[in-house]
Amino acid sequence: MNRRDTVLSLLALGTAPHLAFAQQAGKVWTIGHLSPQSGPDGTVEAFREQLRSLGYVEGRNVVFEFRWAAGSEERIPELAAELARLNVDVIVTRTTFVAAAAKRATSTIPIVMASAADPVGIGVVASLSRPGGNVTGVTQNTTEVDGKRLQLLHEVVPKATRIAALVWEKAPLKPLFLEQIRAAAQKMGIAIVIQEVGTSEALAGAFDVMKRERAQALIVPASPFHNNNRKRIAELATKHRLPSMFDGRAFVDEGGLMSYGPSATEMSRRAAFYVDKIFKGAKPADLPIEQPTKLELIVNQKTAKAIGLTVPQSVLARADEVIR
């Protein structure tokens, strides 16, 4: 049987050539997964599912070393160092903050970002087209669309002249976010009320300050802090009747009003392809970093009703999904 017939036979059996590669190699790969979350969610399962479709079976030719920071950003450097000491074959990270911590922990173990914002800006990689070091993966470049998020939010509350921005005080991209959002607000004639927060316990007080500052809506940038507190933030926004805009649908699922950004699930799937390429010999330095080509708008009509807001039909018509 020639090589062509062998490949066709494998496909007929539902077995891709890359699976044959993994089996023939006889190696059990170890994936370190470093996350600011408390445990696995749909994005993690999407990553594992995509790996399975690429021929990696947990317990047979791949094992995971999960490290969860459980909302404590102070633990992330320590967990990154732990994975580096284990000498895993690859470290998969979520968020720019975590990718930077992993980069500081090792310059040799390949790092695949399942999501990150502006890795070039914070010095994690040299460029998107030629990362150069041991880091590659997927970036959402969220700061580039913060102005669009503000515009969409203003379409929903066109009379708003003061919009609050809830900012994690330790966010690596805080200066860039503030620059982008202030520039966009100036063009729209909107005043931005900046409210920085550092702990979960401080959230309720932060929302009280927003109300005293007469904020009429709320925009929340991407950060591990916000993600770990998304349910609480959504609840407080509803309590204070603040129409809210987030970067991802997980916030809308928890009761936030709107989100506009790339699909975290799809980015996790794309990260699995990077891991596969690295296991097959590719170097992170040579793998261009991928940017999502599609952004999704999600609207929660139940939340709109709860805060007494009518979302314009022009916005609903553009939504990729409306939660009713």
Give a yes or no: residue 267 inside a domain.
yes
Predicted local confidence at residue 46, as pLDDT: 96
SS3 for 176? helix
Give a yes or no: residue 242 inside a domain.
yes
- Low-confidence stretches of the chain (pLDDT < 50) are 1-24
Give a yes or no: residue 210 inside a domain.
yes
Same domain as 127, residue 33: yes
Give a yes or no: residue 291 inside a domain.
no
Same domain as 184, residue 64: no
Same domain as 238, residue 123: no
Rounded Cα distance between 197 and 275, Å, is 35
Same domain as 313, residue 164: yes
Same domain as 26, residue 60: yes
Same domain as 152, residue 9: no
Predicted local confidence at residue 181, as pLDDT: 94
How many folded domains does the chain comprise?
2
**In DSSP terms, which residues pair with 245 in a beta bridge?**
219, 258
Give a yes or no: residue 18 inside a domain.
yes
Same domain as 207, residue 131: no
Same domain as 224, residue 269: no
Same domain as 101, residue 12: yes
Same domain as 269, residue 256: no
Domain holding 207, by residue range, is 143-261+296-323
Predicted local confidence at residue 3, as pLDDT: 38
In terms of DSSP H, where are the helices of 229-299?
230-239, 249-253, 264-279
Rounded Cα distance between 224 and 298, Å, is 20
pTM of the model: 0.82
β-strand pairing of 111-115 with 244-246: unpaired
Same domain as 235, residue 147: yes
Give a yes or no: residue 303 inside a domain.
yes
Q: Give tens-digit pLDDT for 182-202.
A: 999 999 999 999 999 999 999
What's the order of all strands across the beta sheet hosting 244-246? 191-197, 162-168, 217-219, 244-246, 258-261, 296-300, 321-323
Q: Which of 146, 320, 65, 16 is nearest to 6 (CA)?
A: 16
Same domain as 27, residue 130: yes
CATH of the domain at 309: 3.40.50.2300
